[in-house]
Amino acid sequence: MNNFPILSFLTFLPVLGMLIVLFLPKKEVQAIRITTLIVTGLQIVFSIILVMGYNYSAGGINDANSFQFKEFFNWISISDFAGIGKIKIDYFLGVDGLSTPLVLLTAIVTFIATLSSWNIDKSVKGYFLMFLLLDTGMMGTFVALDFFLFYIFWELMLLPMYFLIGIWGGPRREYAAIKFFLYTLFGSIFILLVMIGLYFSSMETLADGTRVFTFNLLELMNTANYTETGILSPLNPNNLRLVAYIALFVGFAIKIPMFPFHTWLPDAHVEAPTAISVILAGVLLKMGTYGILRIAYPIFPEITYQLAWWIALFGMINIIYGALAAMAQKDFKKLIAYSSVSHMGFVMLGMSALNTMGISGAILQMFNHGTITAMLFLIVGVIYDRAHTRDLEAFGGLGKQMPIYTGFVTIAFFAAIGLPGLSGFISEALVFLGGFGSGTTRILAVVSTLGILLGAAYMLWTMQRVYLGSLNEKWKDLTDLTGREYAMLVPLTIIVIYLGVNPSPMLNLMNASVNAMVKFIADAQVFYSSINTL
Amino acid sequence: MTESVLINISLAILFLPLFGFVVTLLLGKKVKSIYLFEVFILTIVLISAIVLAFGKLSYFIDHKIVSEIEWFRLTDTIVIKLGFLIDNLTVLMLFVVALISALVHYFSVAYMKGDERYNRYFAYLGIFTFSMNGIVLTNNILMMYIFWELVGLSSYLLIGFWFEKKSAADAGKKAFLVNRIGDLGMFAGILILFLTYNTFSFDTIFQSISAGKIPFNSEFWLTLTGILLFMGAVGKSAQFPLHVWLPDAMEGPTPVSALIHAATMVAAGVYLTVRIFGLLTADAMMFIAVIGMLSAFIPATIALTQNDIKKVLAYSTVSQLGYMVMALGVGAYKFAFFHLVTHAFFKACLFLGSGSVIHAMHHEQDIRNMGGLRKKLPLTYATFLLSSLAISGIPLTSGFLSKDGILASAFAFGSLTGYWIFAVVGFLVALLTAFYMFRLIIITFHGEPRDHHKYDHAHESPFVMAMPLVVLAGLSIFIWYTPNPISADQGWFLTKWIETPELHAPNSTRFDFMQSEVVAETQQVAEHNSSHGEITYSEKYTEAMHSAHYPAMFLSLFVAIAGILTAFVFYQWKKVNVEKLTASIKPLYNFSLNKWYIDEFYHKTFVAGLLGLSKIIYWFDATIVDGIVNGSATVTRAISTFTGAFDKYVVDGLVNFMAYLSGFIGLIFRRIQTGKVQTYIVLVIFSIIILFFFF
Amino acid sequence: MMEVGLNHFLVVSTLLFSMGIYAIVTRKNAIMVLMGVELILNSANINFIAFSQFGNRGIDGNLFGLHGHLIALFVIVLAAAEAAIALAIVLNIYKTLSTVNIDEIDNLKD
């Protein structure tokens, strides 16, 4: 069992599924769906096996030895390439407390999204092929530990997403898809530039003693590996690390999405089919913050330290700006999209605190936001499937017509508001405790608490406009939840409540890594400041 | 009986209502009579609460039982715990909550009969009781905040229970949001506490303060922490300026108003302030006293003119809560809690009484359509009257004892500090309270019926509704609290059950009269630098209270009777033409009738401002931010159009020209290419001949 | 009397070759073209034999032997075979297209 390449299996299981789907005839719609469902279901099973075999005391972050379920072999190795020297790209997978919650989240959300894709009836085969490819891209991004491999998975996601929005989307799907694609690609270019810059700034010592350029993220985190002249080397007095950090950050921030790079999100969400919105908000947004935590933070710890206040500032802007923008929405889905902007602000605020509570809160918030927002988008989907409109003003009194559905809505909304007893509270509280605990971000954290109030305001207002009040006669034929919708909402509800009451399982998963990260950044800060004074 | 038994009973008290909630909610659709389960559970909770109170007060009266478990941990030093703190305050409060909750359950069985969401109503009552018990039982501020929010949720659900009515849905939303404003302050306070002490536990925090550790090493921050935490109470206890949600909350079913918005949840704010009393500085207390005073006065003036029976009671609730908060501000810790308990009983009785009236009148709430109900509803009238006497502060009632204590404290506070305003306003409010309560009674129960149709159909409530009224009215009599009907000072409630709180704020930040005095003989105390629990109230305050007792008592009795008599003069004997009087002070009357226009003010400023801001932000988002994105797309497209043209006409033109040129050349030479072998042979031969010539 | 030497043979052969070329280039009739080809083949034969007879001697003083003669014999045989096959093709072409005019036979052109 120990040698079983579980991460590769998790990542490439969807590709296997794609092969099967590819050989199924186009007309066998049900078989295609069920294949996808089985594949995503297996992913859940394997990610649970992963968690069961997880060593809670291993930190990860920059220490290759404490990464778990590692898989490592030389993937591309060219001994002398066009005068650059030896090119070495590794196939290096591994998880730590940072990625395990997200692997789990990806598996869960994808499974739910598969169920939600059941009512797609336009070229089903193509849809599920794209869907599975997307799944591979997402999983791969979370488990890759080689920058090059990471980048490949990162870009791999983009393509199926483009088609999923552009073909199966709403009326303005082309616009939304192109906007999404170009925006993200724009960000990717920054990441690519930094990646190449880092490659030429650091050298890894191989077992035989030779030194080669490296894409290995863990090697890039080691200061000793940097060359004296590399443009992104801290040893080079004229280095461009600040610029590179900002570029990298912007690249990831587009995915978060961070103000002012967030406008692709509402458009993409409004046009995307429900299942894709679920994945987009549930998993894809997390990649931005994951990328920052996995790559930007440990590779540029001193700049992170330097810019923590700015990260918190943008977090705060996201929280308040997103909430205010959400309040002005007339489209249900757009409202939820802006609420995502607001909630991802909490993640950024928590990250910027650079202390245990803040970063734990941020990662937990990533997981919780994934589940809560998935619920919210499913809720919009339920109503859109029935009424074919998302106009908030058009509804009213659905609580009477669809009581069980409204029960789920209440849970999801209050989870989004951060009601204690539901998962959102713990992560938000940790974020604030962390943010307030760090001297740098203290004031910003206090201002951000306004977000709690604004969040409650727009959520409850929505609640009232759609579910309370007298029933609009037009909707008196709407039916309550179907079995499939139960199957989507109930598991998420259970997660949301369970993690609200007992967050320990998730927090224990990440504690060692968070502490390693905090320690690493603090140590690195001391180290780098000693370099600068020399 | 051991401590662990008490803890187990507390666990049962806490979690049984949650269990009731889950079962009732899940089975509500299928099992019609599942509500009986919830009622049954509450009965058990009540019995447990009585057992707990009895056990605690008889066996562990001086003990503070604390039990903690780890909730989750981040590192070895950051461990978040949940825990119980069972002291006398806890068990008394639990008893109040459990009793009123159980009575409200019984009352609701009849009151809510026939409602389409009957079972769900009981489920909501269950989750409310769970959350409220959580607030009472907790030993740390975070857990209190958690349950604090959960009562907010249950309040939201119950106010908006009849959500088909827009006003009810609005009121629920308003209650939640206004409470959230207060909670923000409380949360900020919690942040400061955790940052400073790395714990949420009250005891640990107090010990650290006593040891001289205060936030940011600044007394100002300690004051601010106290005020911020108190913000939570301002929201939950509907104190000015966040009181606006409570009158609206009357949209909920009347038993809910009795339980949540009169007796228990709104008292949670006072309970919180009681719990954090030890860390309040003089400045914080002054702030609290001022807020309490304003909250006592403003709603009392509004209650004078309201015509909705529940609205009158709601404003009176705010006013009475203001009393309690003011009492805490002037340092009368015991009387604040005492008034909390007595008020809970008589106000719940008043609300349930009004429920009984509303039930009898088929959901008529306007007192102008009532009158003469005394004959139809004798029992309701009797209990209502008794409770009104209690709230007005007439001797032999519990309200007299507690209110008199608060007024005497305010009086003493005035004599010690020179701030007489609290005493003056206190007596003024007592006058107003007596007046508006009896105005309510006279218009509702006395005189002639105004709506004969409804009057004729009115009927006394059934047993399940009458019984709670009787129990609660019974608890409004002095005998439960003290053997002496004019002073509670020597009664068991104030001497045995409630202890004088320890103060922990540094001596220099307290009022002079509340400073710890190091007694010369007890060297130990001196050595430990006042960090141990010596008596913190100096004799000065007790003496001042003592000398204020009789003047305050007579004065309060005088104003109460004056208020009642005025009401009788105005409304019963009609010696004064009320219409004319109100007409002559029209602006003042309207000002009161329209609740000081506070709602309108908030609507025009905060609500409109927020909505406006959100519109502006969205406009900014859609036009500027997205505009830049789309603009850059447009610019890119324009550039690409240009490069496209360049590409098409210049670059590609060159390529095409080359092709054309070669085509032209080909055209010339293609003539040679005839396809006839003979021609080729001729050419070959000629070529060879030419080659021969050259070489 | 003039001695017949190598040059005479070459002149004859050249004449034959030129006539053959002329026939190939100018005739439209496929059979005539074939005739031309035969003439060229025979001019080559003459050359082979002439060079075989008058050409340089080997190191051992012998002629190159009968190489030229042999090849001429081969050519004659090949020419016969070629003529047989070519005539058969021409015959077949005539059957299908009713013409032996090479300019008109351009079915492969398009």
Q: What is the 3-state secondary structure (H, E, C) of B281-337?
A: CHHHHHHHHHHHHHHHHHHHHHHCCCCEHHHHHHHHHHHHHHHHHHHHHCCCHHHHH
Best of A180, A414, A473, A475 to disrupt the B interface by mutation (most B CBs within 10 Å)? A414
d(CA A116, nearest CA chain B) in Å: 25
State the pLDDT at residue B521: 44
Record: contact B613-A360, CB cut-off 8 A: no
- C-chain CB neighbours of B685 within 8 Å are 21, 25
Q: Which residue does chain C place closest to B685, by CA atoms?
A: C21
Chains that touch B (3 or more CB pairs under 8 A): A, C
Q: Residue B228 corresponds to which tokens in the numbers above?
A: 């911020």
- Whole-Å CA distances, A245 to A288, A292, A297, C61, C90: 14, 10, 9, 94, 84
State the pLDDT at residue B517: 59
d(CA B682, nearest CA chain C) in Å: 7
Q: What is the mean pLDDT of chain A?
A: 88
Q: Is pLDDT at A170 greater than 90 in this prediction?
A: no
Q: Which residue is listed with tokens 């700049």?
A: A303
Q: Is pLDDT at A378 greater than 90 in this prediction?
A: yes
Instruction: Report the number of distinct structural domains present in chain A.
Output: 1
Evaluate whether B212 touches B264 at the Cβ level (below 8 Å).
no
Q: Residue B586 corresponds to which tokens in the numbers above?
A: 């029209």
What one-character-per-residue DSSP string does B270-288 give? HHHHHHTGGG--HHHHHHH
Evaluate whether B318 touches B299 at the Cβ level (below 8 Å).
yes
Q: Which residue is listed with tokens 């336009």?
A: A122
Give, as one character, the DSSP assignment of residue A89: E
State the pLDDT at residue B518: 52
Cα gap A256→A315, rounded to integer Å? 11
Best of B72, B181, B248 to disrupt the A interface by mutation (most A CBs within 10 Å)? B72
Mean pLDDT (whole number) for A300-329: 91
pLDDT band of residue A111 (cuts 50, 70, 90) is very high
Instruction: Give a yes or no: residue A532 inside a domain.
Output: no
Evaluate whether A131 touches A106 at the Cβ level (below 8 Å).
no
d(CA A244, nearest CA chain B) in Å: 23
Instruction: Give a yes or no: residue A38 inside a domain.
Output: yes
Best of B178, B242, B617 to disrupt the A interface by mutation (most A CBs within 10 Å)? B617
- C-chain CB neighbours of B676 within 8 Å are 102-103
Record: contact C21-B681, CB cut-off 8 A: yes
Q: Is pLDDT at A136 greater than 90 in this prediction?
A: yes
| Closest residue to A263, CB basis, from B146, B164, B621 | B621
**Number of alpha helices (DSSP H) and beta strands (DSSP E) in chain B:** 30, 2
Domain that holds residue A128: 6-525
> Residue A257, preceding bond cis, omega within 30 degrees?
yes
User: How do strand A211-213 and strand A203-205 relate by DSSP bridges?
Assistant: antiparallel
Dihedral pair phi/psi, residue A79, rounded to 5°: -70, -40
Best of B678, B681, B686, B689 to disrupt the C interface by mutation (most C CBs within 10 Å)? B678
| Residue B565 identity (one-letter amino acid) | L
d(CA B154, nearest CA chain A) in Å: 11
Chains A and B touch (3+ CB pairs under 8 A): yes
Record: contact B678-C109, CB cut-off 8 A: no
Q: Which residue does chain A place closest to B150, by CA atoms?
A: A420
b vs e for A298-331, b when ≥16 Cβ sit within 10 Å of the residue's Cβ? bbbbbbbbebbbebbbbbbbbbbbbbbbbbbbeb
Cα gap A352→A296, rounded to integer Å? 12
C110 and chain B in contact, CB less than 8 A: no
Task: Give the bridge partners for C101, in sequence order.
Answer: C29
pTM > 0.90: no
Instruction: Give a yes or no: residue A256 inside a domain.
Output: yes
d(CA C10, nearest CA chain B) in Å: 18
B486-493 contacts, C-beta under 8 A, 24 or more apart: B486/B395, B486/B400, B486/B553, B487/B401, B487/B404, B487/B549, B487/B553, B488/B338, B488/B401, B488/B402, B488/B405, B489/B405, B489/B549, B491/B401, B493/B338, B493/B341
State the pLDDT at residue B530: 44
C19 and chain B in contact, CB less than 8 A: no
Q: Which residue is listed with tokens 């406008």?
A: A263
Record: contact B617-A321, CB cut-off 8 A: yes
- B-chain CB neighbours of C106 within 8 Å are 675
Query: Is the domain defined by C6-109 classed in CATH 1.10.101.10?
Result: no
3-state secondary structure of A92: strand
Record: contact C21-B685, CB cut-off 8 A: yes
Instruction: Give a yes or no: residue A531 inside a domain.
Output: no
Chains that touch C (3 or more CB pairs under 8 A): B
| Closest residue to A356, CB basis, from B78, B145, B187 | B78
State the pLDDT at residue B218: 84
User: How do strand B65-73 and strand A211-213 relate by DSSP bridges?
Assistant: unpaired
Record: contact B678-C21, CB cut-off 8 A: no
Task: Give the bridge partners for A527, in sequence order.
Answer: none
Evaluate whether B599 touches B244 at the Cβ level (below 8 Å).
yes
- Could you state, in chain order, the average pLDDT of each consecutive group of 10 residues for chain B (695 residues)? 84 91 88 87 92 86 85 88 88 91 90 86 91 91 92 91 88 91 91 90 88 84 91 90 89 89 88 89 90 92 88 91 90 88 91 88 82 84 90 87 88 86 90 90 84 78 86 86 76 77 77 64 44 52 79 87 88 80 82 83 86 88 86 88 87 88 87 77 87 86
Count of CB contacts below 8 A, A vs B?
A: 138
Evaluate whether A386 touches A426 at the Cβ level (below 8 Å).
no
Surface of C (28-67) touching B: CB under 8 A: none
Q: pLDDT tens-digit profile of C48-107?
A: 888 877 766 555 555 556 677 888 888 899 889 988 999 998 888 888 888 888 777 777
| Closest residue to A452, CB basis, from B164, B184, B192 | B184
| Closest residue to B681, CB basis, from C24, C106, C109 | C24
Q: Residue B121 corresponds to which tokens in the numbers above?
A: 């109503």
Q: Which residue does chain B place closest to C24, by CA atoms?
A: B678
State the pLDDT at residue B524: 46
- C-chain CB neighbours of B678 within 8 Å are 24-26, 102
Q: pLDDT tens-digit profile of A6-23?
A: 889 889 999 999 999 999
Q: Is pLDDT at A105 greater than 90 in this prediction?
A: yes
Instruction: Give a yes or no: residue A229 inside a domain.
Output: yes
| Closest residue to B625, CB basis, from A260, A436, A437 | A260
Record: contact B681-C25, CB cut-off 8 A: yes
Beta-carbon contacts of residue B11 (< 8 Å; ≥ 6 apart)? B84
Q: Residue C75 corresponds to which tokens in the numbers above?
A: 């050519």
Record: contact B617-A397, CB cut-off 8 A: no
Beta-carbon contacts of residue B313 (< 8 Å; ≥ 6 apart)? B257, B262, B347, B350, B351, B354, B440
State the pLDDT at residue B598: 85
Record: contact B169-A357, CB cut-off 8 A: no
Dihedral pair phi/psi, residue A271, rounded to 5°: -85, -30
Task: Give the bridge partners for B397, in sequence order.
Answer: B477
CB atoms within 10 A of CB B523: 10
State the pLDDT at residue B534: 46
- A-chain CB neighbours of B184 within 8 Å are 449-450, 452-453
Beta-carbon contacts of residue A359 (< 8 Å; ≥ 6 apart)? A293, A350, A351, A353, A434, A514, A517, A518
| Closest residue to A449, CB basis, from B187, B617, B625 | B187
Chains C and A touch (3+ CB pairs under 8 A): no
b vs e for B329-363, b when ≥16 Cβ sit within 10 Å of the residue's Cβ? bbbbbbbbbbbbbbbbbbbbbbbbbbbbbbbbbee
| Closest residue to B678, CB basis, from C25, C106, C109 | C25
- A-chain CB neighbours of B628 within 8 Å are 260
d(CA B665, nearest CA chain C) in Å: 22
